[in-house]
Structure 1
Amino acid sequence: MFKKLLASVGIGSAKVDTFVLSEHLVPGGECNLKVVIKASDSVEQDINGLELALCTSAKSEKDLGDSEIKVNETVILSRWAMTPNELGLTGSVLAPGETIEYDLTITLHPDTPVTSVTNSLSKVWIATGLDIDKGLDSSDKDYLDIQPTQFQKHAVDAMYELGYKISKVDVEKGYLRGNGFQSEVNCYQEFEFRRQAGLFSSSEAELSFVSLNNSVGLLVEKDRFLGGDAYYSEVLPNNASYSLIKAKLEHWL
């Protein structure tokens, strides 16, 4: 079975390793994990519980004097807590040399950013620890590979057929609002496209998606060189056909 080390952290004298057992991951899909906690050979360890957090990095603007700068902030999409009893510990104590393994299945947030797509700058990882909020440094993490949903694949393929190519995919801090929908988490992903319109001109468009149970909120921002940007949005079924999505995009663009 596919097995990849996600994170390894030290808690006192104990070591905690988190492995992902699922090979293909998509937003809103299940992810099988294995947590392995190992005490040192000589010292017992009190374990008060364990917490996992699904994280991404989002761009935001910060004031710096009279100017604004772009910074990356960690956003927690979902979190899961495990008590000592759930981990199989007696009296919250891990004996010297003892190793315990805990299997769990988590459901990825439906708006988890896609990472396995052309020119994606998006990052998604799972943080492991006792105090997640104080230890979200992603520098030593192995990142998750998140594939696009079928709806997103249709939208990207339709944009290519309409002459656009992906120039960048990243995550922005903030909430996304459209006609009849709003995102739940404080970040959203933008798929930026560019089309060469002529020898000296080009057009740009950005696509964003918000999961809504059995439907998807699709928002398109079209850059217009004269008159500012234009915004179009609509709620479409999760299982919307390629032809329907393409027709909608073609009408807007």
Structure 2
Amino acid sequence: MSIFNKVFASIGIGSAQVDTRLERDNYFPGEEVKGIITINGGKAEQRVDEIYLSLHTTYIKEADDKKYTATALIDRFRVTETFDIGPSESKEIPFSFQLPGDMPLSIGRTKIWVSTGLDIKNAVDPSDKDFIKVLPNRLMEAVFGAAEDLGFRLRDAECEEASYRLRRRLPFIQEFEFIPVSGPFRGKLDELEVVFFPLSENEMELYLQVDRRARGLGGFLAEALETDETNVRMTVTSADIPSMLQKLKAAIERYS
């Protein structure tokens, strides 16, 4: 083997390449992801310390009264132990991992992707990026359906940096912003914001922010002082799906 090939490989020139093929690109939170990682060797033999898969999304952060986009690591999975890949050698490695239950959904501007990397000592890290679509599960769908039946329309969905009191495992929360376009809350509310906090596959905590429409002088004063918003916490389970509309309506009515 040429000494130049060894030197080039150590600085990432002519080094191994990686490609990940997912079984599909649509998933639900908590679902198993399967696929195959293909590694093609470069011009020199290389030792791969590990192959890892990581889940990422972006979210909005605020600092010094300015907003900017940051990348968040949702989870990371080790796929293999140390191995060697020879010059022009090709390896296929099947993998599987489970999506966390608190995955954000691919709604609005939220994008989610799987990054594949090879950890190679003294080399540029070869990586691959594959976007996936995370869909709402049955419980989330029931909440969305109930909101729609109550006359709400989804206006925006975005991942934002979580405040201290709302922070869980991840540094962000995903907010779903609804506006009433018909039904009993039109003219009463400006908007309704919903955040999901999954507790298990069949149980979820909902955080609702009910933004009342200003009515009269006192109402405008309340809005100016930002006291027209009421935060509501409620827990829903799979058993609540048939009555989700009534449950959500009752929670909102108490504060509208």
TM-score normalized by the length of structure 1: 0.78
Matched residue, 2:173: 188
The one-letter code sitting in structure 1 at the alignment partner of 2:233 is: S
- Return the offset for 1:112: 0.8
Q: Which has more helix, going by share of residues? A: 2
- Cα distance in structure 2, aligned partners of 1:240 and 1:78: 30
Matched residue, 2:5: none
**C-alpha distance after superposition, 1:92-142 (max 9, x if no partner):** 321111111111111001111111x4xx111111112246xxx9xx9x844
The one-letter code sitting in structure 1 at the alignment partner of 2:195 is: S
Q: Which has the larger radius of gyration?
A: 2
Alignment counterpart, residue 138 of structure 2, candidates 150, 171, 180: 150
**C-alpha distance after superposition, 1:203-233 (max 9, x if no partner):** 2001111111242111111112333211111
- Return the offset for 1:143: 1.8
**What are the residue-to-residue correspondences of 1:1-253 with 2, within 5 Å?**
13-40=15-42, 42-63=43-64, 68-85=65-82, 92-115=83-106, 117=107, 120-130=108-118, 141-174=129-162, 183-196=168-181, 203-213=190-200, 214-224=202-212, 225=214, 226=219, 227-237=227-237, 239-253=238-252
- Return the offset for 1:74: 1.0
- Contact 1:166–1:191 (8 Å) recurs in 2: yes
**CA separation of 1:57/1:199 partners in 2, compared to 1, >3 Å: closer, same or farther?**
closer
**CA separation of 1:150/1:176 partners in 2, compared to 1, >3 Å: closer, same or farther?**
farther
- Cα distance in structure 2, aligned partners of 1:176 and 1:121: 24
- Return the offset for 1:236: 2.0
Cα root mean square deviation, aligned: 2.8
- Cα distance in structure 2, aligned partners of 1:100 and 1:250: 55
Aligned residues: 221
3-state SS, counterpart of residue 143 of structure 1: strand
- Contact 1:57–1:123 (8 Å) recurs in 2: yes
Structure 2 residues without counterparts, runs of 5 or longer: 1-10, 220-226
- Cα distance in structure 1, aligned partners of 2:250 and 2:187: 24
- Cα distance in structure 1, aligned partners of 2:186 and 2:134: 36
**CA separation of 1:193/1:111 partners in 2, compared to 1, >3 Å: closer, same or farther?**
same
- Cα distance in structure 2, aligned partners of 1:158 and 1:130: 45
TM-score normalized by the length of structure 2: 0.77
- Cα distance in structure 1, aligned partners of 2:169 and 2:69: 20
- Return the offset for 1:176: 7.7
Structure 1 residues without counterparts, runs of 5 or longer: 1-9, 86-91
- Return the offset for 1:249: 1.5
**CA separation of 1:129/1:201 partners in 2, compared to 1, >3 Å: closer, same or farther?**
same
- Return the offset for 1:44: 1.7
- Contact 1:175–1:183 (8 Å) recurs in 2: no
Quick one: percent identity of the two aligned structures? 26
The one-letter code sitting in structure 2 at the alignment partner of 1:250 is: K
**CA separation of 1:177/1:156 partners in 2, compared to 1, >3 Å: closer, same or farther?**
farther
